Structure formats: C-alpha cells, structure tokens
Amino acid sequence: MDRSGSVAQLRAVVAAFARTHLGDDARWCVGLSGGADSLALTAVAARLRPTTALIVDHGLQAGSADVAERAREQAIALGCVGAHILPVEVGSVGGPEAAARTARYGALRSARDGAPVLLGHTLDDQAETVLLGLGRGSGARSLAGMRAHDPPWCRPLLGIRRDTTVAVCAELGVTPWQDPHNSDPRFTRVRLRNEVLPLLEQVLGGGVAEALARTAAALREDTEALDAAAAEIRIPAQRLPIADLHGLSAAVRRRVIRSWLLAGGACDLTDAQIRSVDALVTDWRGQGGVAVPSGLSRERLFAGRRNGALVLYRQPVA
C-alpha cells in the first residue's frame, strides 16, 4: 500500500492530520458512504489506527440497504476492526439536503462511542461550500467553510482534490459507489459542481477551487479570532443590556448577540437574522421584535428591545 503514489500521498496527509490534531488517541471511526472520498479515506485510516466504519443508510433510494451492506463488506476487507450500518429516518426541516445531513450527523454522533469521526470532505467540497455561502449572503462564518478539526469531526482531506481519492480507489482495486444524487440537477450543490465551478475555472483560467479553499482558510482564521474576542465578554443569561454593547466593534457586537441568541434557544441563525437583531441596538426606531429560528414546535421565538435591553420572548404559532 505504501508504495502506491496516490495512496501514499493520502496516507501521509491523514497521518500528519492525526499527529497534529489527535495525538495518541488509539482508535477512530470513519463515516463511510461507499463513495470514492470516504472509501479512500477508510482504506488509509484502517492502516494507521484501529478503525470502525459507520455507514449511514438514509433510506432515500431504492436498494439503499444493499449499498450500505456492500460498503460494510468493503470496510472489513480494507482492514476495519468493525463496520456498522446505521439506518435513519430523514425529516423535512430545511429541505432534503439539510434534513439528510442532520440525520446523518445525529447517527454518527450517537454511534461513535467517544471516538473521533473522520469525514471524507475534500477541497472540492470546501470550494462548493464557500460558493453556497457566497450565493446565500451568509456572512464570513459561512464563507469560512468547514473546519478541518471540529471535535468530534475530523476532515483530513480538505486539502486534497476529489480526483486523488478516485485514483486511490483505482490503485487499491476497489470500486466506489456512484450516488445518483451526485448527478441530480435538482440539488444546488450538484449544479455548482457540474456547471458553476467548471465555468468559473474556464473564465478565470483555472485554480478556482484552490482559491476558494484558501479564502475559506483565511476567513476561518479571522472568524476564530473575532469569536475569541467576543467570548471574553460576559453575556447575561436573560436580558442583554444595550449599554453592554456600546463601544464594541460591529463584528464583535454581532458575535456577542449571536452567542446570546444561541444560549436562549435560537438555532441555525443566518447572518441576515443576526443583523436584524443588531439593528435593534444600532438603528432603534421603536420597531417590533425579530423572529429567530428555534427548535420550538408550538411557539415562535423572538428577540426584541425592552427597557434598554435585548430580550427573548415567545409567541404561540397561529
């Protein structure tokens, strides 16, 4: 295995990631879909440490159980010490892609048994994520893309192109599963991959995916520095006095507001929503509260301004 070009390259990348981020952890899991990225990662990971493959069966396609079983067999053949199929029920909140992602991460988190989980996201995935964030106007946090190490999630392949994982599978003689969803133009990410990125590469003369990944890395550094600055500010649990926000830079102030909202039960906040709440501080004209997303089913969560402070309150769903 070590003598093969692409395999040796991938092995070196994963080993370096492990030394930097995981230290002496004795074992890890890998999220395996059966596609080229996760299959190549599984093959390399299994030669480095005791590896358990976690295979999520979303049940969204005919024959998904057969695909999962084939991935389980491949994982064992590649040297994994264990391979578990995790059937999930995919909801509808946030659309099909978001709902599948929520179900997948929940299953992986429950099954990892305290071990870190390696995920097969590549540089191409990072570039697509940045473009999605750019198109949605989601702010620097979204443009910063995926973290390489966001415990328990580990993404050692964020600097590796997708064609390298395909080459690894070819060198090892394993056949990856071709997910039909990856060519279905109904999914935004698929159109970015197959239409938008190739056009950008053509118009801008190549290197676009790498440039987008570098942009994500730079924004990630800036975002984490600003998050650290905001984290030093004490945030009251209930009322957030407007006076406490005066004198803060806009970037830090909005991060304080975001943390306060999340602590109060908000979730999946967008940059636009945070800015709307921020306007209650910077552009107060007596306006009403701002609805923010939450996990509530029978009530809606609002942020408003009352008696010189930001407050959270609930209203029943009509």
User: Cβ distance 118 to 25 under 8 Å?
Assistant: no
35 a known binding residue?
A: yes
Structure tokens at 105: 């991460």
N- to C-terminal Cα distance for the chain?
Answer: 62
**What is the torsional sign of CA 235, 236, 237, 241?**
negative
> What CA–CA distances, in Å, run from 144 to 149, 272, 282?
13, 16, 26
pLDDT in tens, the chain (318 residues): 444 599 999 999 999 999 999 987 789 999 999 999 999 999 999 999 999 999 999 988 888 999 999 999 999 999 999 999 999 998 877 677 778 888 999 999 999 999 999 999 999 999 999 998 888 777 788 889 999 999 999 999 999 999 999 999 999 999 999 888 888 888 888 999 999 999 999 999 999 999 999 999 999 999 999 999 999 998 888 899 999 999 999 999 999 999 999 999 998 888 999 999 999 999 999 999 999 999 888 899 999 999 999 999 999 987
Q: Is 7 helix (H, G, I), strand (E, B) or coil?
A: helix
Token readout for 134 is: 């750019």
User: Is residue 304 marked as binding?
Assistant: no
Give the position of tokens 């009509």.
Answer: 318
What is the C-alpha radius of gyration for the chain, rounded to an integer number of angstroms? Answer: 22
Right CATH for 233-316 from 2.60.120, 1.20.1180, 3.40.50, 3.30.465: 3.30.465
Where are the chain's structural domains? 6-211, 233-316
33 is in an annotated binding site: yes
Note whether 86 and 55 are within 8 A (CB).
yes
At 108, list the tokens.
């992986």
User: pLDDT digits over 78-132, tens only?
Assistant: 999 999 999 999 887 767 777 888 899 999 999 999 999 999 999 999 999 999 8
Q: How far apart are CA 111 and CA 126, in angstroms?
A: 25
Residues forming a β-bridge with 290: 303
Flag whether 36 is marked binding. yes
CB 158 within 8 A of CB 127: no
**Contact yes or no for 239/311 (Cβ under 8 A):** yes
37 labeled part of a ligand binding site: yes
Which segments of 99-253 are extended strands (E)? 117-118, 149-150, 153-154, 240-241
DSSP annotation of 187 reads: S
Identify the architecture of domain 6-211 in CATH: 3-Layer(aba) Sandwich (3.40)
Say if residue 34 carries a ligand binding annotation: yes
